[in-house]
Amino acid sequence: MTDTKKRPTGIAGLDLTIEGGFPVGTRIIVYGTALSGLELLAQQFWKAGNEECRYLMLDAEPTGEMHDGRELSLKELATAMRGERIVVDSLSTLIHNYGIDAAAEFLAHTTKDRLREGSNILFLLYRGIHSPVEETCLMRAADVVIVLRQELHGNEFERTLSVEKIKGMNVPQRAVPYNITAKGLELSTTTRVI
């Protein structure tokens, strides 16, 4: 759908992969292991553009301009979600602190006002700590699901990003290789012809 208003992701190769960025007013889940670059992707999205943004850190000591969300209730967290680019780090912590039902309710319903205002809300979800049923429940409620994978082959990491779901658009048909650099994630935009 080419007439959908998009918000750039902050990663040129990802914008190219999803035809310009995330559809405005969507819930985004970025799923992967703690070492796959989830936080880097979230920070690149958060820092991109000149819009109002908010990074709510629930997992660790916030740095820089991040907001400390570790002691906030779900109601307070919903109130703290302001701006066009909102990052919640992490959905895994919400599940741990409040249970899957409360986290799913927060994802699916509490965020609706922000979405109507045109915000994009990016949630991090850590692989390997939730049941498949919990993960499925959350991914069904999301508008966009991005999966970061990394595998060790010999002495080299192979990292790929795949867009598994994107509201109102065709899902790209291939996984895209990426590298983790000092500046963040860099996606390969070239395609190998065989």
The pLDDT-based confidence of 1 (bands split at 50, 70, 90) is very low
In the chain, the number of structural domains is: 1
Residue 190 lies in a domain: no
**pLDDT tens digits for 80-125?**
999 999 999 999 999 999 999 999 999 999 999 999 999 999 999 9
What is the mean predicted confidence (pLDDT) over 27-33? 97
Question: In which order are the strands placed within the sheet that holds 120-126?
Answer: 67-68, 53-57, 85-89, 120-126, 27-32, 144-153, 156-166, 176-181, 184-187
What tokens appear for 22 in the block? 């995330």
Residue 170 lies in a domain: no
What is the mean predicted confidence (pLDDT) over 126-141? 94
The CATH number of the domain holding residue 142 is 3.40.50.300
Q: In which domain, by residue range, is 47 found?
A: 26-156
For residue 44, give the 3-state DSSP assignment: helix
What tokens appear for 113 in the block? 């006002």
Residue 175 lies in a domain: no
> Across-strand partners of 121?
27, 86
Residue 167 lies in a domain: no
What tokens appear for 185 in the block? 């994630």
Q: What are the CA-CA distances from residue 55 to residues 22, 64, 169 (Å)?
A: 17, 10, 26
What tokens appear for 78 in the block? 């919903």
CB 84 within 8 A of CB 52: yes
**pLDDT tens digits for 135-171?**
999 999 999 999 999 988 888 889 999 999 999 888 8
